[in-house]
Structure 1
Amino acid sequence: MAASPLDWLNADVAQLRAGYERQRARPMPENARWLTVGAVRVLEHRVAQARAGAIVYFHGGGFIVGSPLTHADVTAQLGRATGLPLYSVDYRLAPDFVAPAPVEDGRAVIDHLLAKGATRLVLCGDSAGGAIALAVEASLPAAVRGHLAGVCSFYGAHGLLDTPSIVERGRRAEGTDAACLRRYFDLATGGTAENPYAIGALARRSSVPTYLMVGSDDPLRDDTLGLAQALAGMGRDVTLDVAPGEGHGLLHIVESSRAAADALERAARWIEGRCREP
């Protein structure tokens, strides 16, 4: 039986969370375990022969739904492809906790890993999680930012609502039209004008290399293209990867799409290269 569609615009957030978990949650992957870092839960994907570096990951879900288990397919594949241990952050969700709560949770995990001796961290995330990864990087003091080997945003959401890609590709049933996106950002920020995930807040000078991936048919394509242009204008080292013919959430279909699998492989090679021993 097909899963019932979720009403992303009107449904109560608690109902959306429960429905999303039913549809997306995966079994606990092999070689994974839960850790607790202060008040933050983290799903650690371990690797048998870890290479230098580690990935800190932020799942998608419009800032209001999702968990490390709803994105365990993505994180398990990324960990295997890179050969790096991966820490998927169970950050606090809106509207219960508005920005900068997810950023604070990410920083707590980074501080914990650095205290344990980690070096060459790469921050990654998809959709809303991609925006969070970038916001975490932007928030770090210089001394901590110096431990980052890179930051990756996969089809990130950055507050644009009337772009050609949203107008042409956004779908209410998929929660990707302008009205749904406006709802997510209003809930994520508490309805204030301050949006740490927006292009204007993220376009800062930084020595941390950035990798941006998006599908050519993604409603959020123009968010990524606009961010890439803004970061390049600030002198950032930006790699832009547009996967042909793919829509939103392409990393969830790696097993059935050659283009998505190739996109994952390209991202993994970029991450591996950034973490390689000097």
Structure 2
Amino acid sequence: MDYERLIDEETWAFIKRTAESYPDDAVDLSIEDQRCVYNRMCQDFRQPRPVGLDVQDRSAGGVPVRVYTAGEPTRTVVYFHGGGFVVGGLDSHDDVCAELCVQTGYRVVAVDYRLCPEHVHPAQFQDSWTATNWVVQEFGDPLILAGDSAGGNLAAAVAQHARGRLEGVLGQVLIYPGLGGDTSAGSYVEHAQAPLLTLEEIRFYEKVRCGGPAPQNDPTFAPLQDIDFSGLPPTVVVTADCDPLRDDGPAYCRKITETGGRAHWVNEPGLVHGYLRARTSVKRAADSFERISVAIEALGQQIWPYD
């Protein structure tokens, strides 16, 4: 793959800056060391919170959450962070959640689910489901589910599990999610050696997540394993073109539209996995973050601007 041609100079600068604190051989590090380098990398990119925010750390039925509020919101975004189910937390995506709160005007609740390998699947899904139910009981607002990477997986799993169990889910916005696609085909092969996320790393994180063989026919593990995609809320999936996970996005959208649901796929040319951190230094990433914010706001208002 000719990444020198596909990826522009701004994005290469972001990739190189990331590599300075998050080395290519990270999968060879201990889990503790991986978390240390990931936290350092996130801190290096972290932006100050916008003014006018109220931020509180709470407990959602025993699951730590961070609640961002600006003004008098009538919608709540439940946000699940990325990090391969192994790294990340409330601080790693603090600035992303803060900015989404200010840009949309919605309350944002970030979920600090338990991590692997100390807590293998389905602990992450269970925490996400518990926190989402707490949000409904605590605030009573209609919801938008959102997340990036591993968090996109959790948002989709919660949306699918919520059918017939939870009212008021207005939509979901999934950002370069890993949804359990076929790792022997498509983008998994085409971009097996993509910058910032390789197929080898995906397989490593899956192994750590399971603590053994990956489960089959378990949509709380891999949403694409579901057998029924009807009744899902309006869905927007945003992918990075130079990412092994890319093809999970259109595959998921097709499953939804084939059952008569609404789903829209946005593929971002020249971008790589994890580009949310590049939104202040790479124009392509900034434009994509604006599209993500607009999608969340639109779904919250029950507007579908993609027909």
Scaled by the length of structure 2, the TM-score of the pair is: 0.81
Residue 40 of structure 1 is matched in structure 2 by: 63
> Given the alignment of the two structures, is residue 220 of structure 1 paired with residue 245 of structure 2, yes or no?
yes
Please state whether the residue corresponding to 1:45 is helix, strand or coil.
strand
2:77 corresponds to 1:55: yes
Match of residue 170 from structure 1: 192
Query: What letter matches 1:171 in structure 2?
Result: Q
Q: Structure 1 vs Structure 2: percent identity of aligned residues?
A: 29
Residue 241 to residue 203, structure 1, CA distance change in 2 (3 Å)? farther
Distance in 2 of aligned mates of 1:249 and 1:3: 14
Asked if the contact 2:22/2:41 (under 8 Å) is kept, the reply is: no
Other-structure match for 2:214? 193
Aligned amino acid, residue 211 of structure 1: V
Matched, 1:19 2:37: yes
| 1:153 aligned onto 2:165 | no
Match of 1:211 in 2: 236
Bigger mean CA deviation after superposition, 30-39 or 80-89: 30-39
**Structure 1 Cα separation of the partners of residues 163 and 256 of structure 2:** 19
- 1:10 maps to 2:32: no
In the alignment, is the contact (CA less than 8 A) between 2:22 and 2:38 conserved in 1? no
Deviation at 1:130, TM superposition (A): 0.3
* Cα RMSD after superposing both structures: 2.4
User: Aligned pairs, how many?
Assistant: 275
Q: Does 1:276 align with 2:301?
A: yes
Instruction: Return 5+ residue gaps in structure 1 as ranges.
Output: none
AA in 1 matched with 2:38: Y
In structure 2, distance between residues paired with 1:82 and 1:112: 21
Give the gaps of 5 or more residues in structure 2.
1-16
Distance 1:105 1:245 in 2: 34
Q: State the shift of 1:274 in Å.
A: 2.2
Equivalence for 1:129: 151
Matched, 1:182 2:203: yes
1:252 aligns with 2:277: yes
Cα deviation digits, residues 96-135 of structure 1 (max 9, x gap): 1122211211222222222124221111000111001101
| SS of 1:245 mapped into structure 2 | strand
* Aligned amino acid, residue 255 of structure 2: A
